[in-house]
Structure 1
Amino acid sequence: MNPLNVRSEIAPLKKVLLHRVGKEVENLTPDILERLLFDDIPYLEIARQEHDAFAKLLTDKGVEVVYLEDQIAEVVKDRAVRASFINQFLDEAGLFSPGVRAAVKEYFSSLDNHALINTMMAGLRKKDLPQIADYSLTDMLSSNYPFILDPMPNLYFTRDPFATIGSGITLNHMRTDVRNRETIFAEYIFKYHPDYKNQEIPLWFNKSNTSCSIEGGDELILNKKVIAMGISQRTDAAAIEEVAKKLLFAEEETFERILAFKIPAKRAFMHLDTVFTMVDHDKFTIHNQIEGQLKVFSITKGSKNNLKIIEEENTLANILKKYLGLDQISLIKCAGGDQIDAGREQWNDGSNTLAIAPGEVVVYSRNQVTNQLLKENGIKVHVIPSSELSRGRGGPRCMSMPLIRKDL
């Protein structure tokens, strides 16, 4: 059995990657919130309870849940891989001061594998290594900054650093430097973890080969032939073209078309899946503010290994009907499109649903208006608590990366 298989947003979910919220959120401070892409500071104890409820719901539905921290801890059991991983991590963290780097590596050497990974994720405070002096001019100038290694609070949004498409992945180049370290975990898991190291996992996008950005929240698989991708605040059009050049010409895959959605480059609309998700064969959630602003481009194979790109001149519903081969499409507006309710619930990811089967989705409890509309449209809704997880600006889809879904 192929270790990766995702050819639909709504096919029954069998295996998923999560990251249980860790102490990285306790290293958030008001001064660094904006740089670390947070608007508020979650309360860890409650956030963990909410995340555990999410994981339990999935396991109760027969989904195998694996955790990012456990997967990478298993990878670094190999001493050579561990050494390589630490060096690359420190490089991408920008830790080049020889003295500080040596002290950090010595400290890391005292940690077991799980403690090492948890420390990398949580961040390393200067007070944790009091023996470190100011080794260089750079160190002296930054001596008031409390961290040697910044925390990685966005890790619980496992959707973004890589994305499973078919039997391969896009190993993503994140828009912001503060999130680029996250992709190292995926890189090493798919290269060295026992589940994957003897497989040839196709890379539809490789972060090492480009400077253009793409994030998993902008990658949606509508069916075995059609993919939707967002040109957004976080994903460049050039990155989508790179994916298309590999994926659409891959003989082992069935994908024939990418629909590129141009959405407003705004914080509230950061990824396509914050304003548009698939909940059934013919039903989608959507934030009403993007519907009139959407430009949609169809990308297919052209002649001589070139791409054929055309701008679609039609409504979103008609474009979806055309390419998904459906007679009717239901676009369920976040909070019914009400100016006040929709603004509030979209901010709390009312349109960001995780489908675990056709017509069956996981949603945040706080989006009551949208959740009721989903039910009225025949969708089975599983509600998870969301007072703290939602402070990170991501919903159930953002917090999960499917590895295996059944084929429809």
Structure 2
Amino acid sequence: MSSIVEMTSQRETQTKLKHPIHVTSEIGTLRTVLLKRPGKEVENLIPEYLQRLLFDDIPYLPIIQREHDYFAETLKNRGIEVLYLEKLVVETLSNPEIKRQFVDDILRESKANINGAREVLKEYLLSFSTADMVDKVMSGILKREIEESKKTHLYELMEDHYPFYLDPMPNLYFTRDPAASIGNGLSINRMREPARRRESLFMEYIMKLHPRFAGYNVPVWLDRNYEFSIEGGDELVLSDEVVAIGVSARTSARAIERLALNLFKKQDSFKKVVAVEIPKCRAFMHLDTVFTMVDYDKFTIHPEIQSPQGKMNIYILEKGLDDEHVNITHRTNLQETLKEVLGLNELILIPCGGGDEIAASREQWNDGSNTLAISPGVVVTYDRNYISNDLLRQHGMEVIEILSSELSRGRGGPRCMSMPIVREDLYK
């Protein structure tokens, strides 16, 4: 009976919202989320090219799939609708003309024409069913898959060469980064690293052509053709008026300012964009690897992003005199800035690993600060971060732990692995 009630509530919420995308906070009850189940692309990781594909280790596919399925079931058991990226892409490409256009686009962005194999690869991809073709694009095309008679260049015939025509996309299960829901629209992002840049092409096609989203004129606050990079792990919707964005190794200040300008120009709700500078290093990849919102007045934080005096570089962007300018003011204290922009008298920053020098560093590396709030005060976390999880519980949080031995090898936690599509609004 409870599942029927949850499904009815979900349908009523979506009908009330009347938008296929609706996210006005980090903590509003999650109703619909986008995931990607790890697939063959993970098995196409090899030691020689880990750095190129942005991995530090090679996950074991059967176990990472089992752990991801556990994550998905955990969300479903809470009444959350789970959409899968791979399924949406297949449904989007059901029209043969669209399928051919997609193949042209993916080959162009994969720079497949550099080695003269573009037409051969196009023929090869179009020989598959749509589902198998999507799987092949995501998992990569090995040079050994193409018949020897179709290889016309010397370096293709030699044994000692790079093994892929089309690189695999092992980072796809981090659905947070290629696009980010903000209000009733989204940013479709230009990814910083070449290994990930193709990923947002899937979201562009889905938003334009999938029946669930096409026809709703979903606003795109910043598109993937913008020249400066931004990634969803740096984009946090703190309220229906405030967005926080990390200035990180993956997200540029220029992109943040352009996104702010577009938000202020095209909608009336969001009033402030808070740019938070974090150290530009592998461990602190995105803002959400060191800072997430878990309740109305509670946030997780990795202490090392602040100076010993607790200072940081923080900038508040607000609408300027015209559509091409923003007003920018500087702050140095994160806690006080959050209280200011959210209108709070008190606010708690919960330190990853309890702030202990060793535990904090270890658990941050394992995404102890990368929590996914599914409603106010209820978060999904990795089970391995037991010190951080215990501290969250001490602060009154409900902590739902998921398995993480293989998922964590990709350097991303529950928030990284999920793109919220619909959240309920918070009551003021």
In structure 1, C-alpha distance between the alignment counterparts of 2:272 and 2:41, rounded to whole Å = 39
Q: Contact between 1:8 and 1:221, CA under 8 Å: does it hold in 2?
A: yes
Query: Deviations 1:154-207 (Å, cap 9, x if unpaired)?
Result: 000000001010011101000011100101100100010001111111111112
Question: Aligned pairs, how many?
Answer: 405
- The match for 1:89 is 106
Q: CA deviation at 1:98?
A: 7.8
Q: CA deviation at 1:330?
A: 0.4
Distance 1:113 1:375, change over 3 A: same
- The match for 1:317 is 335
Q: Establish whether residue 375 from structure 1 lines up as the match of residue 390 from structure 2.
A: no
Q: Establish whether residue 119 from structure 1 lines up as the match of residue 129 from structure 2.
A: no
Q: Establish whether residue 257 from structure 1 lines up as the match of residue 278 from structure 2.
A: no
- The match for 1:276 is 291
Distance 1:5 1:122, change over 3 A: same
Of the three residues 295, 319, 322, the one matched with 1:301 is 319
In structure 2, C-alpha distance between the alignment counterparts of 1:399 and 1:199, rounded to whole Å = 26
Of the three residues 302, 327, 334, the one matched with 1:287 is 302
In structure 2, C-alpha distance between the alignment counterparts of 1:296 and 1:226, rounded to whole Å = 14
SS in 2 for 1:38: coil
Q: CA deviation at 1:133?
A: 4.8
In structure 2, C-alpha distance between the alignment counterparts of 1:294 and 1:110, rounded to whole Å = 54
Q: Contact between 1:227 and 1:259, CA under 8 Å: does it hold in 2?
A: yes
Q: CA deviation at 1:106?
A: 1.8
Q: Establish whether residue 204 from structure 1 lines up as the match of residue 238 from structure 2.
A: no
1:234 counterpart letter in structure 2 = R
- The match for 2:146 is 129
Q: Contact between 1:97 and 1:135, CA under 8 Å: does it hold in 2?
A: no
Percent identity between the two aligned chains? 49
- The match for 2:7 is none
Provide the aligned C-alpha RMSD in A.
1.4
2:256 counterpart letter in structure 1 = I
SS in 2 for 1:398: coil
2:201 counterpart letter in structure 1 = I
Of the three residues 211, 225, 235, the one matched with 1:194 is 211
In structure 2, C-alpha distance between the alignment counterparts of 1:340 and 1:298, rounded to whole Å = 33
In structure 2, C-alpha distance between the alignment counterparts of 1:256 and 1:141, rounded to whole Å = 58
1:308 counterpart letter in structure 2 = N
Give the 5 Å matches for 1:91-170: 91-96=108-113, 100-131=117-148, 133-136=150-153, 139=156, 144-170=161-187
Query: Deviations 1:21-65 (Å, cap 9, x if unpaired)?
Result: 001010000000011000000000000000000000101100000
Bigger drift between 57-66 and 126-135 goes to 126-135
Q: CA deviation at 1:104?
A: 1.6
Q: CA deviation at 1:131?
A: 2.9
Q: CA deviation at 1:109?
A: 2.0
Q: CA deviation at 1:291?
A: 2.2
Of the three residues 219, 228, 231, the one matched with 2:247 is 231
- The match for 1:182 is 199
Q: CA deviation at 1:312?
A: 1.3
Q: Contact between 1:100 and 1:132, CA under 8 Å: does it hold in 2?
A: no
Give the 5 Å matches for 1:55-94: 55-94=72-111
- The match for 2:61 is 44
Query: Deviations 1:187-236 (Å, cap 9, x if unpaired)?
Result: 1000100011111111111121x221000000000001111000000000
The TM-score with structure 2 as length reference comes to 0.92
In structure 2, C-alpha distance between the alignment counterparts of 1:317 and 1:98, rounded to whole Å = 52
Q: Contact between 1:15 and 1:66, CA under 8 Å: does it hold in 2?
A: yes
The TM-score with structure 1 as length reference comes to 0.97
Q: Contact between 1:228 and 1:258, CA under 8 Å: does it hold in 2?
A: yes
SS in 1 for 2:122: helix
In structure 1, C-alpha distance between the alignment counterparts of 2:355 and 2:340, rounded to whole Å = 25
In structure 2, C-alpha distance between the alignment counterparts of 1:335 and 1:76, rounded to whole Å = 45
